[in-house]
Amino acid sequence: MISFFQKVGANSLDNLGSVGRATFMLIGALVSKPTPIKSFPLLMKQIYMVGFLSLIIVVVSGLFIGMVLGLQGYTILVDFGAESSLGPLVALSLLRELGPVVTGLLFAGRAGSALTAEIGLMKATEQLSSLEMMAIDPLKRIIAPRFWAGVISMPLLATIFSAVGIIGGYLVGVKWLGVDDGSFWSIMQAAVDLEDIWNGLIKSIVFALVVTWIALYKGYDSIPTSEGISRATTETVVHSSLAILGFDFVLTAIMFGA
Amino acid sequence: MTSKRIEILVGAFVSLGIAAMVMLALQVADAGGAGNGETYILKAKFDNIGGLKVRSPVKVGGVVVGRVSSIELDPSDFSPVVSMEINQAYNQFPETSSLSILTAGLLGEQYLGLQPGFIDEDIEILAAGDMIEDTKSALVLEELIGQFLFSLKEDK
Amino acid sequence: MASTSIVEIENMTFKRGERTIYNNVSFQIPRGKVTAIMGPSGIGKTTLLRLIGGQLRPDSGTICFEGQNIPELARSELYKVRHKMSMLFQSGALFTDMTVFDNVAFPIREHTKLPKEIIRTMVLMKLEAVGLRGAKDLMPSELSGGMARRAALARAIALDPELILYDEPFAGQDPISMGVIVRLIQSLNQALGLTSVVVSHDVQEVMSIADYIYVIANQQVIGQGTPEELRQQESPLVQQFLQGQADGPVPFHYPAAEYSSELLEYARS
């Protein structure tokens, strides 16, 4: 019994320790006077790596999820003769939930794991140490641009996901299943507020912060062996996915719950 | 060379994101349309508002002219008071206008139907904060059925 | 004093967790010479370089670089000191996403505001010095191990440091590239007048280039002197190491329970 409590205690101390180390890492990376001339090309490159290269998977997934929503929604709504409400169904589920959440999960799998593996390998091959010895802070040179790239890219990706998804729903609902074109858009417009877009955007920014932070910390704190890096990569995907779903519930409760 | 290519691709990526944002705002949420410009408030008192909610539309002949901004209960006579934000473009409703709670389709949402009244010389135009007197409450299904059964009994 | 030794370590103790790596160690590294630090693997030779470079902090004692006590420096001062030293890592630690040219140019670009042409000239000079001018457009993944280490050396000398720390420069090299690196360390030392600290356990190579050697084992400096003096020393520990005997004062066996009793453990139970 006592050993159980000891285990719980040790685990919590351990977790608390990593939260602390992760916080220090982030503060060390972000608190500095900005050097736009040097950091801008670095940021560009990371937005390319993190954002642009995730574009294809996000567009394809968005299109298919929108089309499935259109199809599923239609078969349910048509029983009530309410198939003209397909527009708001597709748009609201994408903007409020699926856009930020699915993009967050894809982002964790595509970009988050890549970030962890990259930084873990940089650590294993002593690149981070060698930066230190060159009097260059790896937190500012390596971590900071990747962090900002993630925070900038992910909301853009989520927005693209939702837009493409709505187009997918439109293609299936209107072009294939024959929902009226005008009512699809007009009922959607009546039901969707700017607030929905805004809330979705806030969610995606929060998810971006969480996923990028976890990914960078897992890489930075990884044990620099092949086993350590592979475990860190897995942990990035698992922890960020769980964090996304948890934060999604909390944010949804705050935004739409009251 | 490679950095230029990266810059172009990142530029394309960011523009695509912004384009998606604009598309969502204009095409999906219709932010440019009604309900986003200048508004003024009208109020109305009902016996029963049924399923009316904040942000339900206010329509004139099917055209959305505003939205419900708040619903409160008048503490003096316990009847609900509905406040509406009406688009400033439609500010010529006479005080004889009537307001009724209608339902879009059998299962649809409830909305407010504004029926503009006649205009005469001594009829004033509704201004911000005015109360619309002539209101018809929501139809509550249970009451309807009750009335129907009652009328059946009387016939026999 | 400051003119003769560039690094002075005094009464330094360093522990990793419960394990003591260095116990009250003191020694000096003379300026302008090649100093070798030898010892069996796993006794913390790389740790020593990291201590000198300020990446680790000792539990007690001082590590002075040109009179400045490294462990007590603030971050910004430490970074200033690091401009004067550089380190050649065992793996080379080249940045895998840049060409050899960009790797060597990296510290110059980061720390100076020199115009492009001058940087180009400097980089080509450093690459010429290590014989890799022809490989400037290759990516690190296209280099052999020996070439990668030479490219890393070019990067380490890019800003003309006063002190270079070599971490196992000979480990895992074929005899030819080993010879090349031995020659490079020597010629850099003579041509640029810089101080080299070589951490290694390759006795022959170290003996051939070092001006002064420290042998470290059992948390202490167990032997020191020029290669000649070292050969004359009677300490069995030093002799075991120099001659590569399997067993001796440094035991062949990792500390364990008694052999016979461990073998019989199952038989008894």
> pLDDT tens, C117-132?
999 998 898 888 888 8
C253 compared with C160, residue with greater pLDDT: C160
pLDDT reported for residue B32 = 52
Candidates C80, C93, C110; nearest CB to A136: C110
> Other C-beta atoms within 10 Å of A231: how many?
16
Count of C-beta atoms within a 10 Å radius of residue A144:
24
* DSSP, residue by residue, B24-71: IIIIIS-TTSTTSS-EEEEEEE-S--TT--TT-EEEETTEEEEEEEEE
Q: Residue C168: which H helix or E strand, with range?
A: none
Q: Which residue of A has its CA nearest to C49?
A: A133
DSSP C135-151: GTTS-GGGS-HHHHHHH
Residue to mutate among C52, C56, C80, C97, with most A CBs inside 10 A, is: C97
Q: Specify the 3-state DSSP secondary structure of A215.
A: helix
Distance separating alpha carbons of residues C51 and C61, to the nearest angstrom: 11
The answer to whether residues A67 and A176 touch, using CB atoms and an 8 Å cutoff, is no
What's the pLDDT at C229? 83
Q: Rounded distance, CA A247 to CA A210, Å?
A: 9
DSSP C170: T
pLDDT at C97 over 90: no
Q: How far is B153 from chain A (nearest CA, A)?
A: 33
Q: What residues contact A104, with CB distance under 8 A and at least 6 apart?
A: A154, A158, A204, A207, A208, A211, A240, A244
Cross-chain residue pair B16–A162, CB shorter than 8 Å? no
pLDDT value for A150: 93
Residue with tokens 């201590």: C51
With CA atoms as reference, the chain A residue closest to B28 would be: A189
Distance in Å, alpha carbon of B63 to nearest chain A alpha carbon: 11
Whether B6 sits inside 8 A of A55 (CB atoms) is no
How distant is the Cα of A153 from the closest Cα of chain C, in angstroms?
A: 21
Contact yes or no, B with C (3+ CB pairs under 8 Å): no
What residues of chain A lie within 8 A of the CB of C85, using their CB? 133
Surface of C (72-91) touching A: CB under 8 A: 78-80, 82-83, 85-87, 89-91
**10-residue mean pLDDT series, chain A (258 residues):** 84 85 84 74 89 93 95 90 84 92 94 94 88 86 91 94 94 88 80 86 94 93 90 94 95 83
| Beta strands C5-16 and C19-30, pairing class | antiparallel
Are A125 and C96 inside 8 Å of each other by CB? yes
Q: Which helix (H) or strand (E) holds C195?
A: strand C195-200
**Six token digits for residue B71:** 């619903």
Considering only the beta carbons, identify the residue of C80, C89, C96 that sits closest to A129: C89
d(CA C129, CA C140): 18
What residues pair up with B58 in beta bridges, in sequence order? B66, B112
- Give residue A79's pLDDT: 87
Residues C166-176 have a mean pLDDT of: 81
Secondary structure of residue C96 in the 3-state scheme? coil
C57 near A CB under 8 A? no
pLDDT in tens, B94-115: 888 888 888 776 666 778 888 8
A55–chain B Cβ distance below 8 A for any pair: yes
Q: Residue C37: pLDDT band by 50, 70, 90 thresholds?
A: confident
- C104, closest residue in chain A (CA to CA): A134
CB of C34 closer than 8 Å to CB of C223 = no
Over chain B, what is the mean pLDDT? 80
- What pLDDT is stored for residue A149 in this prediction? 93
Query: Could you tell me if A196 lies within 8 Å of chain B, comparing CB atoms?
Result: yes
Q: How confident is the model at residue C236 (pLDDT cuts 50, 70, 90)?
A: confident
Are A127 and C80 within 8 A, CB to CB?
no
Task: Please indicate if any CB of chain C lies within 8 Å of the CB of A194.
Answer: no
Report the alpha-carbon distance of residue B42 to residue B133 in Å, rounded.
Answer: 11
Distance CA C145, CA B24 (A): 54
Name the residue among C86, C91, C111 with its Cβ closest to that of A133.
C86
| Closest by Cα among C196, C200, C192, C193 to C211 | C196
**Contact flag A47-B107 (C-beta cutoff 8 Å):** no
Q: Does A127 lie at the interface with C, CB-CB under 8 angstroms?
A: yes
> Out of A45, A55, A162, whose CB is closest to B13?
A55
Average pLDDT, stretch C243-249?
A: 71
Whether A37 contacts chain C with CB within 8 A: no
pLDDT of residue C1: 40
Work out the minimum CA distance from B45 to partner chain A, whole angstroms. 25
Task: Indicate which of C81, C84, C86, C104 best probes the interface with A, i.e. most A CBs within 10 Å of its own CB.
Answer: C86
- Residues of chain A with Cβ-Cβ distance to C107 below 8 Å are 134, 136
Q: Using a CB–CB cutoff of 8 Å, tell me whether A91 touches chain B.
A: yes
What is the pLDDT at residue A24? 85
Predicted model pTM: 0.77
- % of chain C surpassing 70 pLDDT: 95
Written as one letter, the residue type at C255 is P
- For C240, the 3-state DSSP assignment is helix
Minimal C-alpha gap between A11 and chain B (Å): 41
User: What SS3 class is residue A90?
Assistant: helix
CA C134, CA A169: separation in Å to the nearest integer? Answer: 57
| pLDDT tens sequence across B27-82 | 777 665 444 567 888 888 888 887 777 777 888 887 878 888 888 888 888 888 88
- SS3 category, B16: helix
pLDDT digits (tens, 9 = 90+) for C49-71: 888 888 888 888 888 888 888 88
Q: How far apart are CA C212 and CA C105, in angstroms?
A: 32
